[in-house]
Structure 1
């Protein structure tokens, strides 16, 4: 079974900070795109650009042969796919599903298995790159599932990202995303402490960045989020509340594997303190506020 632009109708569920840009790229690439979001207003720009609004998940699933989801939490993924009015109960045999939410590896495996029984195909494909990566179509896409299904969906992935890799069987994409989030968790602590240290030492942090962001300390967080911290720009490219969700998933799966992750545990504790202070809807760079409070 081949998928071409002519025979593919992509349904996109979740048009938030990242999903809106991603769906827009698919439209620009010439795909027919249908959209659904709990809040219709967030999809209005896409509809104006040519996307077809669907009034329910069931309606979208029954009218599309490829469905991409980019929602918030594992409970949302489970409801969207496995609920009474969800995708699996309303899609046609032969449909392809791609969950790009950062979610549970175990849930990804469950969706894959239930889809397979119904003669449908599922991939888990979480992404990294934040709002900037989504806007510029250069996301890193980590995929779990069957190779032949991955190859059929690859042209779609190529509209969204520049680094698209099949990591293994169902759930492998989510496990890989957890590796990504574990790195970010400790890195963000280091970036915040570095910028706080620069200020305390009487340096100009913006100038310090010019020296350290191209050396051994280089990272996405340092180059893209440290400037936002220093400009007091804490708007979300990725929400604090969603990062806490990701760290919770990573810690749970690490515990299942008997793996010690003290850096991840510390980061989660700090971010939970930040959220308790009213910053759950800020961007992850808002962690810097904790350091500002104590300096």
Structure 2
């Protein structure tokens, strides 16, 4: 299980590839624009001209792309990964995607003799760089154990949540919690500023108390520096929230906090901020 293919070297993917390299794995990548991969190629990663060629040569294939439609095309289309990967190999989709799609890919993987895990992550660019991601896994126990050394090179909290699709459902739980929290932390710091307080001093007071959260400690300092670069794109967060809203509808449950957050972020996207980081929610109040 040493030869790993990786597709999706974006904000988080590039750091994840580097951590796998450090752990001693043989990394193979494909990306649409080769120039974006030059740094990694100089560090010892092997380039492939197309996804099918890559998939046919590796022991493990990791995908971390943008949208469920991308995942479906890569795995299930004619000539997709479930047709080009070798039997007894392992596919790990780390994209935040649809639980239903994850279950479908896993079922078709069984027919093709390929083990499939859905393993979305949380922790943003910081967690990817530091190798401290939370990894939420759905799939077969034996496949999970095969993938464990890979996951350990990428994260700290690594938990098998259940069968295929369970990782994606857990990521929806994560995103639901973040959505309302982002409203809270940005609204709070906006209030502090308007009250004439020093937001940095306020942050020191509240970050270690009951109001503390990962978003407050890691994203609000960026807000205070007017740094809206993406640790996680607004456009991808909107995608995640919409998946969660759709899943909630299937369950017959109402999630008003999530719906409000999606509407607020959609407003920002319409203002041209879809490629800003999620901390740009502060701009909703300006």
TM range (shorter): over 0.9
Match of 1:204 in 2: 198
Match of 2:48 in 1: 54
Does 2:147 align with 1:153?
Answer: yes
**d(CA) in 2 for partners of 1:38 and 1:129?**
25
Cα deviations across residues 9-50 of structure 1 (Å, max 9, x unaligned)? 100001111011001111111111100112222211111111
Does 2:86 align with 1:95?
Answer: no
Match of 1:14 in 2: 8
Does 2:207 align with 1:213?
Answer: yes
TM-score (norm 1): 0.96
Does 2:72 align with 1:78?
Answer: yes
Cα deviations across residues 113-132 of structure 1 (Å, max 9, x unaligned)? 00000111000000000000
Match of 2:188 in 1: 194
What is the SS of the residue equivalent to 2:65? coil
Q: Any runs of at least 4 consecutive aligned residues in structure 1 with deviations exceeding 4 A, and if so which? A: none
Aligned residues: 286
**d(CA) in 1 for partners of 2:45 and 2:20?**
10
Match of 1:140 in 2: 134
Q: 1:33–1:52: 8 Å Cα contact kept in structure 2?
A: yes
What is the SS of the residue equivalent to 2:21? helix
**d(CA) in 2 for partners of 1:44 and 1:80?**
23
Shift of 1:142: 0.2
**d(CA) in 2 for partners of 1:288 and 1:62?**
45
Does 2:263 align with 1:269?
Answer: yes
**d(CA) in 2 for partners of 1:26 and 1:236?**
22
Cα deviations across residues 235-269 of structure 1 (Å, max 9, x unaligned)? 00000000000000000001000111000000000
What is the SS of the residue equivalent to 2:159? strand
Does 2:162 align with 1:163?
Answer: no
**d(CA) in 1 for partners of 2:215 and 2:139?**
29
Q: 2:83–2:112: 8 Å Cα contact kept in structure 1?
A: no
**d(CA) in 1 for partners of 2:80 and 2:228?**
35
Match of 2:173 in 1: 179
Shift of 1:84: 2.0
**d(CA) in 2 for partners of 1:48 and 1:108?**
34
Q: 1:130 aligns with which of 124, 128, 133?
A: 124
What do you get for the CA RMSD once the two structures are aligned?
0.7
Match of 1:246 in 2: 240
Q: 2:219–2:279: 8 Å Cα contact kept in structure 1?
A: yes
TM-score (norm 2): 0.99
Q: 2:35 aligns with which of 32, 36, 41?
A: 41
What is the SS of the residue equivalent to 1:194? helix
Q: 1:57–1:85: 8 Å Cα contact kept in structure 2?
A: no
Cα deviations across residues 178-230 of structure 1 (Å, max 9, x unaligned)? 00000000000001110011011110011000010001111010000011111
